[in-house]
Chain A
Amino acid sequence: MTIADIVAQASAPGQPRSVGLSADECLKCNVCTTACPVARVTDLFPGPKYSGPQAQRFRLGSELAPGSGRLSVVPSPDRSVDYCSGCGFCTTACPADVKIAEMNNRARGALRSGRRPRLRDWLLGQTDLTGRLGGLTEPLANWGLHNRLVRVLIDRILRIDRRAPLPRFARRSFRSRLGRHWRGRWSANAPAPATSVVYFHGCAANYYEPEVGQAAIDVLERNGFTVIVPPQVCCGLPLISNGLYAPARGRARSNIAVLAGYARAGYRIVGTSTSCTHTLKAEYREMLDIDDADARMVAEATWDICELLVDLHAQGRLDTRFGALDRTLPYHAPCQLRSHGIGLPALDLFELVPGLRAIDLDHDCCGIAGTYGLKSEKYEIAMAVGKPLFERIRAGGAEQVACDSETCRWQIAAATGARLRHPVELLAEAYDAYLAAEP
């Protein structure tokens, strides 16, 4: 296969655009650099243009593995790409549709592939394992993770920053609290697809914030849905963003195996974590090259919960009997949500709640970017990235702040002392307020 063949194949109509070859579209305009929160605060990262399309020229050569016809990425000419947080603002800002963040992520994957992963990176990817262990050993685990001395040791040994925001394990996981919900794989006996949704809770709602999962169930049930909670594992994003593609593929395969059954039967899959839902929607294909019919079915069936509720509203099917929540509510839209390309559905929903004055904080990134800001060598970068956001929140003095993504919630809560809530928790509260006000 010649270079020309590969280029022709990759640019054939209908072919999803190759992440690597999109570097060809680069105009060198530097607009991406203006949008990069990391390059804004550190010299350690030269910015998206350099680490993306510029460096890509050096990576493409060996993409052309003879006869394979497959485009894969070879290591980056320099390692600074590891400082990319993966927030994705560069990709949205680029006027030429260069897939910069995706390119960087693949380059990181190539840097890691074939090597033994750092213990820390591996561990950060094991959210199911740590979640289960933490749940079993709670409260000891919570004590440890919030004890200064233990954190200093973890910092020294693992390089997870002692100051970084770690969540608290819930005493009982979300799944273990579930009652009557259908929790199996799809079968003909499952509740009917027209009146049910499949809930992908992810690790955060399961191990750390079961209240978010409960709020999702309450809101969905209030709108007449039966909620199905099928077996699931971590979506794999923490592995992907640490460049550990091989184990991530394992996670992806097992989720797809379960969820495709539902997707094929016409169910919608809804998630409360914008990162998990984005992984199901896009990253299995874009990052992990899993692009079969099942993966596509799952992607197309997946919805962020606020996206789904806005869609219901547009069809006149959302129960809009919200009680009043009289408060000012600053809202931070997480990077992962922006990568969905669905706007800011939480703000649309907040408009429906009487008394609720939501304010779009309009700051790019809180810094945490999944597990990025936990790492000792990146913690200070992450805090500098989020600083204007934290200052705005502190200056506003609001007690509560809303945000759709768990790691951002933990980061912002740790940095500001505010109480961070998922939008769906506020909607559940507003539904309760309505019921309470009913005579």
Chain B
Amino acid sequence: MATADVAVVGAGLAGLTAAIRLAEAGARVHVLAAGHATTHWAPGGIDLGALPDSRTSQEAIDRLAMVPGHPYGVLAAELPAALAWLRAVLAREGFELEGAPGDPLRAIPTAIGATRLAALLPAGMAGALPAWAPDETLVVCGPAGFRDFWPEAIAGALRRPSSWRGQTPPGRIEAVSVELPGLAGRRNLSSLDLARLFDDPAWRRAALEGIARAVAARSRAPGRVALPAILGLNDHPAALAAAREILPLLPFEVALAPPSVPGLRLYAVLRGALRRHGGRLQVGEAVHGTIDAAGRVAELRAPAAAREFVLSAGAVVLATGGIAGGGIVADGPATLREEVLGLPVDGPPAGNWLSDDALSPAGHPLETAGIRTDRHLRPVAPAGSTADGRPIAENVRVAGSLLAGQRYLRERCGDGVALASGVLAARKLAGVAR
């Protein structure tokens, strides 16, 4: 049996935020996660909120905070400080988040030639944020033979004005593929392989010079270059600086299909910060626990080789990510189950789960499934029960996409909720040092 002051379940943005904050405050923190989180899948921006008709993230946040039961009702107030904290953690490793919640939401090109709305992006992607001037050229440029980024197809789709969500598109859109040095015979190139190559100073200089020539042949300033998000994995700040120096136009990275290189960079920074503060992180542990008669969770268990791994802790942060993260599972066609503690799940009524379009703009019904909490993020008894709204696990805090009342994909608030709830959960548990 291992011991910790606080056990954090889930290694996504919510869990890691809570864990680092607690470790910073001197608690012995142990993170257990079944696997890697949506950090490895999601596009890599920090989405605080975007509704189809909201001009800024702040506007979306304010509106969502008014929706009864939405996590932002409690969390919106936490967001500014949480964001400042994240910026500082990233800055320590040379990463910058550009943009602010009050900035206009901008249409950002994606790897399928559509756009998505964003206001807060890592520096590598942030070149896409400023409004396009009518005389600007967008050059979509990718490595020849890379299957996750097809410049011609992307440019073709982006040339349709309807792709730009009513915003002014660039005046001209060009596409170019570039042979990168030494890759001719290589098959199966993944975004990871390419990003690692960009970590090598000599290789990236040669590659960027090749890209610069190809881009210059297509366009002169003013303009920008869209590159796949492969500008370095372990040494992204240096790779980005080199790209900005060598390329004739301002470069920006475009998120790709999973695995997400920008997400991996974020994960590496958070993981490093946790380790620096003495926190532990154990991936590969699908945990479960029980609420005892006193309304507490005293220990968590995970199947391990031959025996269960047992972690005894004074408090628990549950950040298992809801239906997308694996924290909530559909058990047959009528039951939604919370995996770790068997908490009551607030979700769509049975029979209303199937949707023809998983990516429909209206969101998927199961996206709303989550755990209802009080203002202190403690899980509460289900509506309609006699104890309705009263906390059912005193030393448990729920954070991130597991929180009920949000549609994290449709409202694009997943990262903001994860961040703010991680910070709040940690504050609520400060002082549980055993």
Contacts and interface: CB of A to CB of B under 8 A. Distances in A.
Interface of A: 29-31, 33-35, 39-40, 43, 46-47, 50, 91-97, 278, 280-282, 299-300, 302, 310-311, 314-315, 338-345, 347-348, 360, 362
A29 B41 contact: yes
A93 B284 contact: yes
Contacts of A282: 305-306
B188 A343 contact: no
Contacts of B284: 91-93, 338, 341
A50 B40 CA distance: 18
Contacts of B259: 29-31, 33-34
Contacts of A34: 36, 40, 192, 259, 264
A341 B286 CA distance: 10
A30 B258 contact: yes
B326 A95 contact: yes
Contacts of B37: 95
A344 B280 contact: yes
Contacts of A299: 305-306
B223 to A, nearest CB: 32
Contact of B305 (A97, A340, A343, A348): A340
Closest 10 pairs (CB-CB, A-B): A92-B284, A341-B304, A95-B35, A281-B306, A299-B306, A281-B305, A282-B305, A314-B1, A30-B259, A34-B259
Given A34-B192, A97-B35, A343-B280, 6 more contacts: A31-B258, A34-B264, A95-B37, A96-B35, A314-B1, A360-B275
B1 A341 contact: no
A117 to B, nearest CB: 27
Contacts of B282: 341, 343-344
Given A341-B305, A343-B309, A360-B275, A93 B187 contact: no
A276 to B, nearest CB: 12
A343 B275 contact: no
Q: Which of A315, A339, A342, A344 has the most CB of B within 10 A?
A: A342
A300 B192 contact: no
B326 A33 contact: no
B36 A35 contact: yes
A246 B196 CA distance: 40
B190 A33 contact: yes
Nearest to B185: A43
15 contacts: A29-B259, A30-B258, A34-B264, A40-B192, A40-B196, A94-B36, A95-B326, A281-B305, A281-B307, A300-B306, A314-B2, A338-B284, A342-B304, A343-B309, A343-B311
B36 A300 contact: no
A300 to B, nearest CB: 5
B290 interface: no
Contacts of A96: 35, 326
Nearest to A340: B305
A47 B188 CA distance: 10
A92 B309 contact: no
Contacts of A302: 306
B280 A31 contact: no
B215 to A, nearest CB: 28
A26 to B, nearest CB: 12
Q: Which of A35, A338, A339 has the most CB of B within 10 A?
A: A35
B77 interface: no
A91 B36 CA distance: 11
A43 B192 CA distance: 12
A347 B278 CA distance: 11
Q: Which of B30, B259, B271 has the most CB of A within 10 A?
A: B259
A295 to B, nearest CB: 10
B285 A341 contact: yes
B35 A31 contact: yes
A33 B35 CA distance: 13
Nearest to A345: B2
Contacts of A341: 282, 284-285, 302-305, 309
Given A34-B36, A43-B188, A91-B284, A340 B264 contact: no
Q: Which of B30, B282, B325 has the most CB of A within 10 A?
A: B282
B283 interface: yes
Nearest to B263: A34
B36 A342 contact: no
Interface string B258-280: 11000010000001000100001
A282 B309 CA distance: 14
A358 to B, nearest CB: 11
A254 to B, nearest CB: 19
A64 B285 CA distance: 31
B200 to A, nearest CB: 13
A251 B21 CA distance: 49
A340 B41 CA distance: 27
B3 interface: yes
Contacts of B2: 310, 314, 342-343, 345, 348
A347 B282 CA distance: 13
A342 B264 CA distance: 25
A314 B313 CA distance: 12
Contacts of A92: 35, 283-284
A29 B264 CA distance: 13
A321 B285 CA distance: 32
A166 B264 CA distance: 36
Contacts of B302: 341
A93 B264 contact: no
B92 interface: no
Interface in B241-300: 258-259, 264, 271, 275, 280, 282-286
A50 B192 CA distance: 15
B34 interface: yes
Given A96-B35, A314-B2, A341-B302, A31 B309 contact: no
B10 to A, nearest CB: 11
Nearest to B307: A300
Contacts of B41: 29, 31
Nearest to B38: A95
Given A96-B35, A314-B1, A29 B309 contact: no
